[in-house]
Every structure is written in structure tokens, then in C-alpha cells.
Chain A
Amino acid sequence: MINNISLIAANELRRLFKSPLAWVILAVVQFLIAIFFYLLLSQYMQPASAASGLTDVVVSGMYQISGVVMLLVSPLLTMRLITEERRLGTIKLLISSPISITELVLGKYVGITTFYCLMLFMISLMPASLMFGTQLDLGQIASGLIGVLLLMSAFASIGLFISSLTNSPAVAAVSTFGVLFLLWIINIAGTNASEGMAQVFAYLSLLKHYSSLLTGVFNSTDVLFYIIVSIFFIILSIWRLDAERTYG
């Protein structure tokens, strides 16, 4: 089980890095976030903002921006997960091999999440460089890091599921972006609704659970929220691929 999952994950990573896409995305994301990092840092250096701490302004601010950048970039990475296997016909190789569809889906998920971890590591090197000169609130950073990671893995599972629905990477990318964006801003949609509905909408928002983690509030319901979203879409992907054998 573990062997097969890591085999598929490793192949996914290897093929990601064979394409220029992964490298370009790593570079662009790094570049964009570096600009924001610089802006946040220079904003902090101004005397007016001395009220709040360095970690709050720079590190949490940067992770906040990372979430938005990932929202834009993640659909491009997840779009080809299943669609490309279908297009190349390699899905038949995978399904006629002695691995289960669960292993296949989990392998894909682990592969792409590993890539996200790598991306996150590269981003985190920037705030880590501040440690040479000053003290950082490591607890808050850890909480923020977990928040971004959970957010990304939710993005990955949603993208994986949408990629399993179609044959076209472009369709998968656009739909994934739409869904992610909707889940991001759904709490705004709820502001005009009734009290109860507003709460439901706010609760469904990917953003809300994320911001409290960024401020260093480690609430287990927030963590569970992302884990449940991930598991939910992974199960949907498995069902979808399984059903394809019968109805496809």
C-alpha cells in the first residue's frame, strides 16, 4: 500500500520536474512573494507601524499573500493530474496494474502535496533569513506554516477531484480556479443572507479558517476543517475513477 502510493507520488514529482511548468511556477511564486516580503518588511521598518510585532506584520502577512498566490497557481499544477493520464492513455496502464484506485489517487495527492511542501519551504527561507538579525515568534510561524500547508492540501484535493472529472487540462484548471475562488470569498456572499446562512457561508470559507491560524490561534476545528475538506475530495476522486470503469 505505502510502496505503491510512494511509487506513484515519486513518478508524479519526477514528471512535474521534467516539465518546465514546475520550475517556472516555483520561480514565479518565489519572485512574487519576495516582492511582497520586501514591501512588508519596508512597511514594518517605518516608525508608524511599530505597534505590532515583526512576526505579525512580515511573516503572517507573507503567508497570507502566499495563500492568494497559491489560489492562482494551484489549478495550473493540479489540472494535469488525472486529465493527462487519460489523454496519454496511461490511466489504462495504472488501472491494469496491481494497484488499487485508492492507492492511485492517494499517490497523486501525496505527490502534488510534496511539491507544495517544497514550494512552502522555499518561501519560508525568506522569513527564516530574518532570524540572523532578530527574534521571531516561532510558535506563530509554526501555526501559520501549518495553516498554509493545510490550505494547500485542500487546494490539491479539490484540484485532483476536478481533474478526475474531465479530459481537458484547461477545463480542469478553469473550473478548479472557479471553485477555489468561490470557496475563498463565500463568506462575503453570506453577508446579505440571514443570520444563520451567513454563519454557514462564513464557516465554509477557506479563508476564514486560515486567517485565525495565521494570527497564531491554533484552533483544532480549523485544522479539522481542512483535513475534512481534503479527505472529502479525495474520496470523491476515488469514487469518480471507480465509477468510470462501470459507466465511462
Chain B
Amino acid sequence: MESEILISVQELSRFYGQQKAIENVSFNVHRGEILGFLGPNGAGKSTTMQIICGVLAANHGSVSIAGHDIHGAPRLAKKHIGFLPEQPPLYNDLTVNEYLDYAAKLRGIKKDDLTNAINLSKERCGLESVGSRLIQNLSKGYKQRVGIAQAIIHSPSVIILDEPTSGLDPIQIREIRELMRELGEDHSVILSTHILSEIQSLCDRVLIINQGAIVLDQPLDQLENNSDKPGSIEIGLRNPPALEELLGIEGVASVESINEDTLRINFNPDANKTDAIVEKAVSDNWGLFKLNPGDTSLEAIFMRLTQGDNEQFEEESTA
């Protein structure tokens, strides 16, 4: 991509005492790019985001926002940042208008532009009708939207959202996604989420972080090129054969039974043999009645990259 690099993260490491949060994390985000930040709980997503925003300091490494180092020139760098932490940073005893007014002034918006900025931000987040209500009386979804409104009020070139759609209903999620797509056109957006479909529908690039290290950094379209062939299928058979017979089919890596007549068949990478299985099912009279493609590629990749450690973790925790 040719466009200007707005966020540059170099070799970031951060420890909480002895506990490693992230280690040697580096990536760049260009203007007009939406980066999806993915990882299991406790992988270091929030830590990384907070370091980028200057809320936490890194033990090693540097972050530069629109060419300004967050540590060396924090005032210049932070002018370009809009940040929504995991818990929206709201003053419950202020009204939405008062709060946005304060947030806008904190971000250094001039007096003349203030009303415009607040109105635009309210309009974008669908907050027009609640402007004079106290934040503490709003529902969770509205609070989340006020949080997003404060992050975009100064139209920053870098928008960092930590789980922006948590607590929203499906309609609101769609609206917020629409908004982020719009923002992603001429800003850089980093968003973290647990929802894989959100990444797929929204992001240009996905970054998976696990146990404090980046395990995948790839444009989404590259990932999707592989997704014609899902890594597994779910198959319903009335007369299931012995598992060995299924494992005998070329390309099948493993078979798990989900319930008595449904099986999940995992293929070796790049060897989707759905057709072979269907052929055999018909010829051997297995009573095929259901066939679903398994996990989407992103989910499969996510599972593959993070699962191993989780199993390890579970073993450790049960031990």
C-alpha cells in the first residue's frame, strides 16, 4: 500500500512486574486502513492499544502517530488520537452534551468549531435525541455510543477502539460498523473485537495476537482467497461408518463426533476432499442427510493459532 503510515509500532514490549504482557510487537497502519485486532482474552490487545494511546508507557520500543513519537512529542501525537477504552470513559453525572463539550475541549477543538464538532459527532453516533440526558440514565448501548462519539469528535486521523460493539444490539452494531467503514476511508482505525465476523465484514487487515506476540499479520483478502476451501466440514450420516474408514480417505486429518449421527471432519491444510467423502457416502450407503462447511478460514486460523496454548493453559489450570 502506497499511502502514508499513520501508526507505526516498533518492537513494543511491556511487562507488569514479572508478568509479560506483550513482547516485541511491531506493525504499521496506513491511512485509510482498518486493522482488526484479534486475540483471546488476556493476549495483550488492550495493553497494546493503551500503549499506542500513551495511557501506558512501554518498557521497550516506540510508537509514532502521524510521524510524532508518543513519548517524545506526546502533545502533537495525542492530537491525532481518538481512543475508546474497553470501559467507555464517561462521567455519569454529566449530560451527553456537557460530556462531549468537555471531551472536545480536551482534544483542543477551537471555540468556533465546537458546536459543529459536537453536532456532527452526535449525528454520526445517533445521539441527537439524548443530548440533554444524564449519561448515568442511558442504556449500555447508548453509553457505548457516547464513548465512540468522544473518540471521533475531533476527527482524529487515528481512531483506536477497544471492543466498540460490545453491549450493542444487532441494529446498533450494524450502524456502528457502517460508521467505522465510513471513518476508515480517510482515517486509520484499529479495533479489537472477539467477533470474527466483525473483522471479516469490516477490516482490511487482521492482526492476531496471542500470549503477547503477534502470530498473524495479513490483509484480509489474502486470507479470504484461501477460504473457498474450509478446513473442516460437518457431516450428518444416518449409518456412520467406522472412524477408521473415514480416516482412510486421503486428506482427512481427524474426525470427531459431535453427536451420534453428526461428525466433524478436519482436513489437512489445502486438501479439502469434500467431494471424495460425498462420493463414498453415496456409494457405501452411509445415509448422508446433512453437509455443512465447517469453520470459516479466519476462525480456523484463529483457532489454530491460539488453541494450542489454550489447551496447554487448561492442562496447567487443572493440574
- Residues of A at the B interface (CB closer than 8 Å) are 4, 7, 11, 14-15, 18-19, 88-100, 245-246, 248
B271 in the interface, Cβ–Cβ < 8 Å? Answer: no
Q: Which of B55, B91, B93, B98 contacts A245 (CB 8 A)?
A: B55
A18 near B50 with CB under 8 A, answer no
B53 near A96 with CB under 8 A, answer yes
A97 near B56 with CB under 8 A, answer no
Give Cα A186–Cα B164 distance, bound, in whole angstroms. 52
- 0 or 1 for each of B83-95: is its CB under 8 Å from A? (1 = yes): 1010111111110
Q: Which residue of A lies closest to B17 (CB)?
A: A247
**B75 contacts across to A, CB distance below 8 A:** 98-100
Interface residues of A, dominant DSSP: helix
Residue contacts A-B, CB under 8 angstroms, 10 given: A14-B98, A90-B90, A93-B85, A95-B54, A95-B55, A96-B78, A98-B74, A98-B76, A98-B107, A100-B74
**A4 contacts across to B, CB distance below 8 A:** 106
**B91 contacts across to A, CB distance below 8 A:** 15, 88, 90
Give Cα A245–Cα B59 distance, bound, in whole angstroms. 10
**B93 contacts across to A, CB distance below 8 A:** 15, 18-19
Give Cα A18–Cα B92 distance, bound, in whole angstroms. 10
**A89 contacts across to B, CB distance below 8 A:** 85, 87-90
Q: Which of A91, A93, A98 contacts B108 (CB 8 A)?
A: A98
Task: Determine how close the nearest CB of chain B comes to the CB of A148; give it in whole angstroms.
Answer: 29
Task: Determine how close the nearest CB of chain A comes to the CB of B212; give it in whole angstroms.
Answer: 17
- 0 or 1 for each of B256-273: is its CB under 8 Å from A? (1 = yes): 000000000000000000
**B74 contacts across to A, CB distance below 8 A:** 98, 100
**A248 contacts across to B, CB distance below 8 A:** 56
Give Cα A100–Cα B98 distance, bound, in whole angstroms. 22
B78 near A98 with CB under 8 A, answer yes
B89 near A90 with CB under 8 A, answer yes
Task: Determine how close the nearest CB of chain A comes to the CB of B105; give it in whole angstroms.
Answer: 5
Q: Which residue of B lies closest to A95 (CB)?
A: B55
Q: A19-B93, A248-B56 are in contact. Are A94 and B85 (CB under 8 A)?
A: no
Q: Which of A11, A19, A88 contacts B90 (CB 8 A)?
A: A88
Task: Determine how close the nearest CB of chain B comes to the CB of A140; give it in whole angstroms.
Answer: 41
Give Cα A246–Cα B15 distance, bound, in whole angstroms. 9
A92 near B90 with CB under 8 A, answer no
Beyond A4-B106, A7-B106, A92-B89, 5 extra complex contacts between A and B, CB < 8 Å: A89-B85, A92-B53, A92-B55, A97-B108, A98-B106
Q: A14-B98, A245-B55 are in contact. Are A88 and B89 (CB under 8 A)?
A: yes
**A97 contacts across to B, CB distance below 8 A:** 78, 103, 106-108
Give Cα A88–Cα B90 distance, bound, in whole angstroms. 7
B102 in the interface, Cβ–Cβ < 8 Å? Answer: yes
Instruction: Give the interface centre of B74, B83, B106 by most chain A CB atoms within 10 Å.
Output: B106
Q: Which of B171-196 contact A (CB under 8 A)?
A: none
B56 near A94 with CB under 8 A, answer no
**A14 contacts across to B, CB distance below 8 A:** 94, 98
Task: Determine how close the nearest CB of chain B comes to the CB of A150; give it in whole angstroms.
Answer: 30
Task: Determine how close the nearest CB of chain B comes to the CB of A1; give it in whole angstroms.
Answer: 10
Q: Which residue of B lies closest to A19 (CB)?
A: B93
B81 in the interface, Cβ–Cβ < 8 Å? Answer: yes
**B127 contacts across to A, CB distance below 8 A:** none
Q: Which of B78, B90, B94 contacts A18 (CB 8 A)?
A: B94
B79 in the interface, Cβ–Cβ < 8 Å? Answer: yes
Task: Determine how close the nearest CB of chain B comes to the CB of A206; give it in whole angstroms.
Answer: 32
Task: Determine how close the nearest CB of chain A comes to the CB of B308; give it in whole angstroms.
Answer: 31
Q: Which residue of A lies closest to B70 (CB)?
A: A96
B232 in the interface, Cβ–Cβ < 8 Å? Answer: no
Q: A93-B103, A245-B55 are in contact. Are A98 and B98 (CB under 8 A)?
A: no
Give Cα A73–Cα B90 distance, bound, in whole angstroms. 27
Q: Which residue of B lies closest to A97 (CB)?
A: B106
Q: A7-B106, A89-B89, A90-B90 are in contact. Are A96 and B81 (CB under 8 A)?
A: yes
Q: Which residue of A lies closest to B15 (CB)?
A: A247
Q: A89-B85, A90-B89 are in contact. Are A99 and B55 (CB under 8 A)?
A: no
B150 near A93 with CB under 8 A, answer yes
**B90 contacts across to A, CB distance below 8 A:** 88-90
Give Cα A99–Cα B102 distance, bound, in whole angstroms. 13
- 0 or 1 for each of B207-218: is its CB under 8 Å from A? (1 = yes): 000000000000
Task: Determine how close the nearest CB of chain A comes to the CB of B100; give it in whole angstroms.
Answer: 12
Q: Which residue of B lies closest to A248 (CB)?
A: B56
Task: Determine how close the nearest CB of chain B comes to the CB of A7; give it in whole angstroms.
Answer: 5
B220 in the interface, Cβ–Cβ < 8 Å? Answer: no
**B35 contacts across to A, CB distance below 8 A:** none
